[in-house]
């Protein structure tokens, strides 16, 4: 397996034995590198958990952040910690600032974190909420749903703009096979039809409409380029072909049982 795909490991909720098993499994894949599509841990443990994970991979560990990775701190502080970690350990590469990564197999990798942005469903009326609202400082600071939604939209729009820049740069460089890592699924089609989370109540909390719009537009504009997206967040394993050259794979996950998704 040249690239191991990891997602939603939630290592803060796994026993030391389960974490050790994961490390052993990653080692056994003999992967040259790994891609981690978010929710590795929570803020206080993230740097340690990523460092230990990187010790199990021969080459780079490419990372995007999930909402849970910010729990207990702020988006700003966690990003700062990731940049500092990357300066100390250059093999741990947070993807948004890493730019366009040319992979040994000829594909090009880009990534952004992504945020559920309420572009689908009814973000104000939905009866469902996420702990993000209490546990991430920028969201907790906003007392109203409208305020929290505004913060989410700003975060998602910034990531979507970054994604558009990275995709444009990769295509200009001659990329024909793009691998896109992100945490939050970009399309409603990523949620398994008929499942509990496919209900429109969940859409505002599980989908990043802003990155979806960028991906759909780029894929339509560049029919000769294939776009394969890896995402997590919903914990419901699924694949969706959005258009002829745009496919999304969503990671399955269970709290307490961190596992390797397979090859990327």
The interface region with Fe ion, picked from 31-39, 46-54, 153-161, 173-181 by CB under 5 A, is: 31-39
In this structure, are residues 246 and 262 in contact, taking their beta carbons and an 8 Å threshold?
Answer: no
Q: Write phi, then psi, for 247 (nearest 5 degrees).
A: -125, 145
Residue 132 in the binding site for Fe ion (CB under 5 A) = no
Q: How far is the CB of 68 from Fe ion (least distance, A)?
A: 6
- CB nearer to Fe ion: pick between 164 and 259: 259
**CB contact burial 101-123 (16+ within 10 A = b; e otherwise):** bebeeebbbbbbbbbbbbbbbeb
* Alpha-carbon gap, residue 257 to 255, rounded angstroms: 6
> What ranges in 58-113 are assigned the alpha helix state H?
75-88, 95-98
Q: How far is the CB of 32 from Fe ion (least distance, A)?
A: 26
* Alpha-carbon gap, residue 60 to 89, rounded angstroms: 10
- Which position among 3, 5, 6, 8 is part of the footprint of Fe ion (CB under 5 A)? 8
Residue 113 in the binding site for Fe ion (CB under 5 A) = no
Q: How far is the CB of 10 from Fe ion (least distance, A)?
A: 6
- Which position among 12, 39, 69, 73 is part of the footprint of Fe ion (CB under 5 A)? 39
Residue 49 in the binding site for Fe ion (CB under 5 A) = no
Whole-angstrom CA distances from 98 to 14, 62, 200 are 29, 9, 35
Q: How far is the CB of 260 from Fe ion (least distance, A)?
A: 16
The interface region with Fe ion, picked from 21-29, 32-40, 57-65, 143-151 by CB under 5 A, is: 32-40
10: how many CB neighbours lie within 10 A of its CB? Answer: 22
For Fe ion, which residue has the nearest CB? 39
The interface region with Fe ion, picked from 35-43, 74-82, 146-154, 208-216 by CB under 5 A, is: 35-43
- CB nearer to Fe ion: pick between 8 and 259: 8
Q: How far is the CB of 175 from Fe ion (least distance, A)?
A: 29
In this structure, are residues 110 and 101 in contact, taking their beta carbons and an 8 Å threshold?
Answer: yes
In this structure, are residues 230 and 6 in contact, taking their beta carbons and an 8 Å threshold?
Answer: no
**Residue ranges that bind Fe ion, judged by CB under 5 A:** 8, 39
């Amino acid at each position: 397996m040249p690239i191991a795909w990891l997602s939603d490991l939630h290592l803060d909720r796994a026993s030391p034995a389960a974490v050790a098993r994961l490390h052993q499994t990653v080692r056994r894949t003999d992967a040259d590198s790994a891609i981690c599509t978010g929710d590795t841990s929570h803020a206080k443990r993230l740097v340690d958990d990523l460092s230990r994970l990187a010790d199990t991979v021969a080459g780079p560990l490419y990372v995007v952040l999930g909402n849970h990775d910010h729990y207990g701190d702020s988006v700003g502080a966690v990003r700062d910690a990731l940049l500092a970690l990357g300066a100390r350990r250059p093999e741990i590469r947070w993807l948004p600032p890493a730019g366009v990564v040319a992979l040994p197999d000829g594909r090009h990798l880009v990534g952004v974190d992504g945020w559920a942005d309420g572009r689908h469903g009814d973000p104000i009326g939905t009866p469902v909420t996420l702990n993000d609202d209490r546990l991430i400082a920028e969201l907790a600071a906003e007392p109203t749903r409208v305020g929290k939604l505004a913060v989410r939209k700003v975060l998602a729009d910034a990531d979507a703009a970054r994604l558009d820049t990275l995709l444009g740069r990769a295509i200009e460089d001659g990329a024909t096979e793009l691998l896109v890592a992100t945490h939050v699924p970009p399309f409603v089609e990523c949620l398994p039809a008929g499942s509990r989370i496919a209900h429109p109540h969940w859409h505002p909390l599980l989908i990043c409409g802003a990155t979806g719009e960028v991906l759909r537009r780029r894929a339509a504009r560049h029919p000769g380029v294939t776009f394969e997206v890896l995402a997590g967040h919903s914990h419901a394993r699924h694949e969706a072909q959005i258009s002829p050259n745009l496919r999304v794979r969503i990671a399955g996950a269970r709290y307490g049982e961190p596992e390797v998704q397979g090859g990327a």
